[in-house]
Amino acid sequence: MRITALSQAATAEFAPETTYLDTSTWGLLPRRTIAAVKALADENAAGLRVGAGSLDAVESARTGFARLVGVHPDRVATGGSVAVHVGLIAASLPPEAEVLCPEGEFSSLVSPFAHRSDLRLRYVPLAGLAGAVRPDTALVAFSAVQSADGRTADLAAVRAAAAAHGARTLVDATQAAGWFPLEAGEYDYTVTGGFKYLLCPRGTSFLTVTEEAQAHLPALFAGWISSGAPWNAMYGPAELAPTARRFDEPPAFLSYHGAERSLALLGEVGVDALHAHATSLAARLRAGLAVLGHEAVPGESAIVAVPGLGHRKEDLARAGIRVSDRAGNLRASFHLYNTEAHVDRLLDVLA
């Protein structure tokens, strides 16, 4: 899909009242998503909906996400938060297992491991992650794109190092999935919060598990929804689904009715088109910042971070520009609803 079609989709689905450059905090909801959530809420209020929501919507969201990250839907589990997915993986590790993570990694990815006192966590700089994998490393857990500054991991190098030493891999794709080309099946596990670049309501999160790695995860959250045929498994112990659906959590139906529509929109636009659009805007911002004498974190990410400039967040908010302050960085992030005019507006106010 060409950028012109992408622009048409943005015009049809979004009408922000600010210069919104903060998708890394949360993504704007498309009109179609809002309509789906409102329709379900109205049906619930009127007593017209059986079971508070449709499992078909959950399946549609699962399929839409699977297409975006290049795996079969059977390899995707649905849930509500990255921390819960990571907690399941943390529970699968034996005592004294080593978990290798980048320094400054997002809390939801590292906390479930850190609060198991019998695991060994080791932190290294992101650039040295692949070189730090060693024979006793059980798991390498890292974000494809860093939350604080938008740096991207050397995915191929980490995969190769993990394979060489027999370590599993866990990738947090929350800041990547949707705009960053990612083949989730190349990693043992991926976790993705849906409310950022996937433009889903909060309460949507996706776990991918390879068929081999699935056998190593405990069914800690097993319930009727984990059976793969929930309406036939409501009483007594449920027989777990043979696929990654065995790790499904009970769905937040309002969120998943919206997620179905958001993921359909991203499927229509395409990851490659969105990647080209978002990274070109980010490159324009980096070039403009250099002219102003501000050095952004280098790279080709859709997320632009400027060290030491986070204090300008409130000034920009008063000017109607929404960015974030993360670890002292001024952080701007781009999606399909952003334009070159948004970049130029930010540069004008910073100047």
Q: What CATH number is attached to the domain comprising 320?
A: 3.90.1150.10
pLDDT digit string, tens, across residues 139-165: 999 999 999 999 999 999 999 999 999
Q: Do 80 and 11 sit in the same domain of this protein?
A: no
Q: What is the number of structural domains in the chain?
A: 2
Q: Do 262 and 298 sit in the same domain of this protein?
A: no
Percent of the chain residues topping a pLDDT of 90: 91
Contact 155, 162 (CB under 8 A): no
In this predicted structure, the answer to whether residue 135 has a pLDDT above a threshold of 50 is yes
* pLDDT given for residue 45 in this prediction: 95
Which residues 6+ apart lie within 8 Å of 99 measured at CB?
93, 113, 119, 120, 121, 122, 137, 138, 139, 140, 141
pLDDT digit string, tens, across residues 233-274: 889 988 999 999 999 999 999 999 999 999 999 999 999 999
Determine, yes or no, domain membership for 44.
no
Average pLDDT over residues 94-101: 98
In this predicted structure, the answer to whether residue 101 has a pLDDT above a threshold of 60 is yes
State the Cα–Cα distance between residues 214 and 198, nearest whole angstrom: 24
CATH code, domain carrying 149: 3.40.640.10
Q: Do 116 and 209 sit in the same domain of this protein?
A: yes
- Domain assignment of residue 220, given as a range: 50-268
Determine, yes or no, domain membership for 37.
no
Give the residue with greater pLDDT, 256 vs 48.
Answer: 256
Average pLDDT over residues 153-179: 98
Degrees (nearest 5) of the Cα angle 22, 319, 315?
80
State the Cα–Cα distance between residues 142 and 124, nearest whole angstrom: 11
Q: Do 86 and 208 sit in the same domain of this protein?
A: yes
In this predicted structure, the answer to whether residue 7 has a pLDDT above a threshold of 90 is no
- The structure's pTM equals 0.95
Determine, yes or no, domain membership for 40.
no
Which residues 6+ apart lie within 8 Å of 25 measured at CB?
196, 324, 333
Average pLDDT over residues 15-33: 96
* Average pLDDT score, the chain: 95
Q: Do 70 and 17 sit in the same domain of this protein?
A: no
Phi then psi for 209, rounded to 5 degrees? -140, 130
Q: Do 138 and 186 sit in the same domain of this protein?
A: yes
In this predicted structure, the answer to whether residue 2 has a pLDDT above a threshold of 70 is no
Q: Do 142 and 207 sit in the same domain of this protein?
A: yes
- From 218, 251, 268, the end of a domain falls on 268
Residue 194's pLDDT band, with cuts at 50, 70 and 90, is very high
Q: Do 245 and 107 sit in the same domain of this protein?
A: yes
* pLDDT given for residue 350 in this prediction: 96
Determine, yes or no, domain membership for 35.
no
**Across the chain, where does the E strand assignment appear?**
19-20, 76-79, 98-102, 120-124, 137-143, 168-172, 189-193, 205-209, 303-307, 321-322, 324-326, 329-333
Q: Do 196 and 95 sit in the same domain of this protein?
A: yes
Q: What are the angstrom distances between the C-alpha of 109 and each of 79, 85, 121, 141, 266?
A: 15, 9, 12, 7, 25
Determine, yes or no, domain membership for 42.
no
Average pLDDT over residues 291-319: 96
Residue with tokens 């978002």: 278
State the Cα–Cα distance between residues 143 and 154, nearest whole angstrom: 10
Average pLDDT over residues 60-85: 98
- From 235, 252, 268, the end of a domain falls on 268
Q: Do 141 and 66 sit in the same domain of this protein?
A: yes
Determine, yes or no, domain membership for 39.
no
Determine, yes or no, domain membership for 41.
no
Q: Do 115 and 165 sit in the same domain of this protein?
A: yes
Tell me the pairing of strands 168-172 and 137-143: parallel
- From 268, 291, 316, the end of a domain falls on 268
Determine, yes or no, domain membership for 38.
no
Residue 1's pLDDT band, with cuts at 50, 70 and 90, is very low
Residue 99's pLDDT band, with cuts at 50, 70 and 90, is very high
In this predicted structure, the answer to whether residue 173 has a pLDDT above a threshold of 70 is yes
In this predicted structure, the answer to whether residue 103 has a pLDDT above a threshold of 60 is yes
